[in-house]
Copies of this chain bind each other. A is one copy, B any other.
């Protein structure tokens, strides 16, 4: 399966998911599947959230909490869950606020190794 097909599988299998992307930790998108526009500039937001991922990683490592494997941000109009795929890449799923958070985490957990195998 291509990157895109894996991302499509995540969006398809998570209730409320609107998009899924594979991104570099530097904020540069590798590939993405956007199923539904939600009236905001999702890609720019994800670039900003990648800054959060880097900041969380630096803070956790500096304070001996180990490497960051997952980050989530719930806001009024969007829930974003990101999971590390490799030291350089993470995948992220964006959901409507009432989307299935648990299923999103599960799908990221099972899909990340599949993406890693193709990186």
Task: Enumerate chain A interface residues (CB-CB to B < 8 A).
Answer: 39-41, 44-45, 48-49, 51-52, 55-56, 59-60, 62-78, 102
Contacts and interface: CB of A to CB of B under 8 A. Distances in A.
Contact of A69 (B62, B67, B74): B74
Copies of this chain held together in the complex: 2
Given A73-B56, A102-B102, A78 B66 contact: yes
Main secondary structure of the interface of A (DSSP, over half): mixed
B62 A48 contact: yes
A36 to B, nearest CB: 15
A48 B71 contact: no
Contact of A40 (B40, B65, B74, B77): B65
Contacts of A48: 59, 62-63
